[in-house]
């Protein structure tokens, strides 16, 4: 088994080399997942709720929307003039990104990134399967 002409049969049954990672990371071996079991198995969906009170908060709305995260924009705590300015700004961002804006309530809007479907519930409420 010392020469370069060792056969596959000679290699079978030999110990496998298990590469280790540094620090607190998990060791790696065949068929082993390197992530802990508490990792979510499904894609996590989320949206951001922003209660805007000053125009300076408008930038945060744009940044989340540009990151393709839906934003629930609550303008109910803002002064009327500030709320109008923020709504104008948000409308421009929505238009520029090809996103959607949906009124949820008085001074509350859902800003949905392009490709996000926003559906109205059926007349009877939540559909049952």
pLDDT in tens, 10-61: 555 555 555 445 445 545 445 555 555 555 555 667 888 999 888 888 889 8
pTM value surpassing 0.85: no
- What per-residue confidence (pLDDT) applies to 36? 53
Interatomic CA distance for residues 52 and 35, integer angstroms: 38
Inform me whether the pLDDT recorded for 1 exceeds 80: no
State the pLDDT at residue 57. 84
Identify any residues that bridge with 110 across adjacent strands, giving them in sequence order.
72, 102
Closest CA to 100 of 110, 108, 85, 86: 110
**By the 8 A CB rule, do 47 and 71 touch?**
yes
């Amino acid at each position: 088994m010392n020469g370069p002409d060792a056969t596959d049969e000679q290699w079978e049954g030999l110990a496998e080399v298990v590469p280790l990672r540094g620090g607190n990371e998990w060791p790696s071996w065949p068929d082993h997942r390197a992530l802990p079991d508490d990792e979510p198995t499904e894609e996590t969906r989320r949206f951001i709720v922003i209660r805007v009170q000053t125009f300076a908060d408008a930038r945060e709305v744009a940044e989340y929307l540009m990151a393709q995260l839906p934003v629930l924009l609550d303008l109910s705590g803002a002064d009327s003039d500030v709320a109008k300015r923020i709504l104008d700004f948000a409308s421009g961002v929505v238009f520029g990104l090809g996103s959607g804006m949906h009124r949820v309530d008085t001074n509350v809007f859902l800003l949905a990134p392009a490709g996000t479907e926003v559906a109205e519930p059926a007349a009877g409420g939540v559909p049952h399967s």
